[in-house]
Amino acid sequence: MASTRISENYRFDTTIDRIGNARTDADGVGETASSGRKIKKISDDPTSTVKVLRNRAALTNIDQFKKTIEFGKEFLTRTEDTLSSIYDSLTRAKELAIQQGSTTYDQPDRSAVAAEIKQIMLHVTRLGNARYGDKYIFGGFQTSNPPLSPDGNYLGDDGQIFIQMDEDSFRPININGRTVFDVPPEEENTRPPLIAVLQNLHDSLDNYDKDKLYKAMDDLDKGMNTVLKARTSLGARRNAIDDVSERLEKSEVQLTVDNNNLESADMVKTALDLKRAESALQFTLQASSKMITPSLLDFLK
């Protein structure tokens, strides 16, 4: 069989092609090495690119969910603290009332106690109008106006504020102020609203009326009960939020690891590839410089 005929163009073209191939190769590896990533264009790996983009978006979202959770937790804490203060104040009112229930006190004493109850009443009203940031926490959706009127009427609505703490998890953060400060449905017509109960307590002491006092004390118990229930429900919510928060931390780590695996080039392999590509290019160039010059003409003298 005849050997391949090597013409000038063949020799030059194939040499240039070879150098071109070696350069393209070296360039690709160089790019991977300098960027440290294997996915630089969508077409490098469309499926992984989409995964990377999804993970990146999920990470951005997690940042937002964390912010939201932080906000939700603080809102809950503020509500909890406020409810605790209310409960403490009510406990104090009850203690005072129990003392006054016995007959050992006279009217001036009772009037003094009544004055203290009045103070407690004002305090609880103020607590009912507590805010977190610019939000009134007990007003339902009516967050921009005080939910309790000066005489203790509930002006808020039944709005439940849900915020998103995870992809599929909207959670309520507010306590319905109506259950605390107004009469809950199951006690409808059996007692007045909370502030009115304190008012009755005050009135029954200021102008001593034993029956009215006992009724007010009884109502106060019920009111305290609803406050306690509301506070307890917050504890459960806080735990649930903590769960979500923990889950987010875990998936954040997982997503970051995933993306590293998908995007990052194996540095050891890349370094070796780079070395190999470099020497391949050098050899090609060296060989080419030797190959391309001589022809028979150079030896005809």
Partner 1 sequence: MSAGSLANILNKGSESLENSRAAIDVSGHNISNAHTPGYSRQIVNLETKDPIQYGLHIFGQGARIQSIARVHDSFLESQIQREVQVQNKTDTLSKGLQKLEGLFNPDLTSTIRDRLVSFSNAVRELSNSPEEPAVRINVIENGKALSQAFNASYAGVLQIQVDSDESIHQNITSLNEKLVEIAQLNAQVREMSAGEKSGVNDLEDKQDKLVKEVGELIDINVYKDNNNQITVRGPNESLLVEGRLNSRLSMENNFSVQNRSRILVSEFDKPVFTDVTEKLHKGKIGALVELRDVHAQRLRESINTLAKGFGEQFNSIHEAGYGIDDLANKKGRPFFAGLNGPGEAGQNIAVDMTIVANPSAVSAAMSPETFGDNVVANKLVKLFYDPCLVDKSTTLTGFYDKMISQLGHDTAHAKEEATASLIVYDKLKAQRESHSGVSLDEEAANLLKYQHLFNASSKIITTANEMFQTVLDLKR
Q: Sketch the per residue contact string, 2 through 31, with partner 1: x for CB under 8 A, - otherwise.
A: --xxxxxxx-xxx--x--------------
Candidate residues 27, 31, 34, 60; the one interacting with partner 1 per rule CB under 8 A: 60
Of residues 66 through 95, those in contact with partner 1 by CB under 8 A are 67-68, 71
- 251 lines the binding site for partner 1 (CB under 8 A): no
Can you tell me the distance from the alpha carbon of 11 to that of 190, in angstroms, rounded to the nearest whole number? 106
| Closer to partner 1 by Cβ: residue 72 or 223 | 72
Q: Sketch the per residue contact string, 134 through 153, with partner 1: x for CB under 8 A, - otherwise.
A: xxx--xxxxxx---------
Indicate the residue type of 21: N
DSSP 97-128: HHHHHSTT--HHHHHHHHHHHHHHHHHHHHHH
Cβ-in-10-Å burial (0-12, 13-18, 19+) of 176 comes to buried
Can you tell me the distance from the alpha carbon of 228 to that of 58, in angstroms, rounded to the nearest whole number? 38
Residues binding partner 1: what is the number (CB under 8 A)?
55
Can you tell me the distance from the alpha carbon of 140 to that of 127, in angstroms, rounded to the nearest whole number? 15
Candidate residues 27, 34, 57, 126; the one interacting with partner 1 per rule CB under 8 A: 57
Q: Which candidate, 274, 277, 270, places its Cα nearest to that of 23?
A: 277
- 34 lines the binding site for partner 1 (CB under 8 A): no
Can you tell me the distance from the alpha carbon of 143 to that of 155, in angstroms, rounded to the nearest whole number? 11
| Closer to partner 1 by Cβ: residue 226 or 259 | 259
| Closer to partner 1 by Cβ: residue 200 or 259 | 259
Please give the residue ranges that form the binding site for partner 1 (CB under 8 A).
Answer: 4-10, 12-14, 17, 39-47, 49-50, 52-54, 57, 60-61, 63-64, 67-68, 71, 133-136, 139-144, 157, 159, 161-164, 167, 170, 295-297, 300
